[in-house]
Structure 1
Amino acid sequence: MSNVLSVPPAGPARAADHFAARMAFETDVSDVHADLEAAVPGLVVVDVRDLTAWRQGHLPGAVHLPRREIAERAEREIPAGSAVVTYCWGPGCNGSTRAAYEFARLGYPVKEMIGGYEYWVREGFAVRTVTGLVRRPADELTAPRTGAACAC
């Protein structure tokens, strides 16, 4: 008996609804990178980590708004109607999920960047630090060694 098929897959219509719903709530680092490079209007990427983490490195173009300060500062710092993308450290941290929840409660359309800062760095994208832009080589477990997009 198959371990995978011991619970039958959902029908195609249910599966389509499920995956569309996931994509309505989540985005990935490659798509965020592409949109930041294209300067997509109305998109605001928010780093919700503390100041020490922000100084260690953050996405170029991101806004720093620690999660615990969102309710107090969002209306002043994030234009109304902006689509917000939140990120925190990585998959082992739910700070971006909590932040997305706060933004949603404040009425912002919001998505969470899955993988967070960790996967941004592991895919070889540049980060801004106190000394300028830095980039690590792509981790071949998360991105092609050549630096080319995976085209997924």
Structure 2
Amino acid sequence: MTTAATAAPAVSPVLRVAPAAPAEAAAYFRASLVFHADVSDVAAALSADGDPGFVLLDSRSTASWDQGHVPGAVHLPTALIPEQAEQLLDKSVPVVTYCWGPGCNGATRAALALAELGYQVKEMLGGFEYWVREGFEFETWEGREQRDADALTAPVDAEDCGC
């Protein structure tokens, strides 16, 4: 009598590479927060009374800036950072960079350029796209605008997402 071999259980595509040990995961995620800020946290800091403790920097072109930017942001295209950063930014104040959105690495390039010049820097995840999609006010060359929050990016009936 022959018995059928028991097939090995299928490994989930998610678990083909095992998760990191908890201590390694904690170190990785802590490090991620050192380098990134999200749109909601930036908006909350900018809207609170007093100094937010950082400068928000839009690293896009002038045409992009005119199309729309975060109120209060400093405009400094990435290519101009080496020659103009010292005139516009104080090295004792952290800088948060942003560009168009998740599909653009302009904020990352700007953050790198600033870090290489000795600035403390973070990147705003989501960029201008998510600023607008989450329903925050923005400025264009024509004035201030605000759109309804996209329900896929921000809670519609709450102040914040609770994360």
TM-score, normalisation: structure 2: 0.89
CA RMSD between the two structures: 1.1
- CA distance in 2 between counterparts of 1:49 and 1:32 reads 18
Once the two structures are TM-superposed, the CA of residue 2 in structure 1 deviates from its matched residue by 1.8
- Alignment counterpart, residue 113 of structure 1, candidates 124, 135, 143: 124
Contact 1:42 1:81 in 2 (8 A): no
- Alignment counterpart, residue 35 of structure 2, candidates 25, 44, 47: 25
Size of the alignment, in residue pairs? 152
Which residue matches 2:60? 49
Once the two structures are TM-superposed, the CA of residue 25 in structure 1 deviates from its matched residue by 0.6
Contact 1:138 1:147 in 2 (8 A): no
SS at structure 1 position matched to 2:122: strand
Contact 1:45 1:84 in 2 (8 A): yes
Q: Name the % identity.
A: 57
- Alignment counterpart, residue 68 of structure 1, candidates 73, 76, 79: 79
SS at structure 1 position matched to 2:128: helix
Contact 1:104 1:110 in 2 (8 A): yes
SS at structure 2 position matched to 1:107: coil
- CA distance in 1 between counterparts of 2:77 and 2:67 reads 14
TM-score, normalisation: structure 1: 0.96
Q: Which structure has the larger Rg?
A: 2
SS at structure 1 position matched to 2:161: coil
- Alignment counterpart, residue 83 of structure 1, candidates 84, 91, 94: 94
Per-residue CA deviations over 1:99-139 (Å, capped at 9, x if unaligned) read 00000001000000010000000000000112221101101
Contact 1:46 1:63 in 2 (8 A): yes
Query: Structure 1 residues 3-12 or 61-70, which shifts more?
Result: 3-12
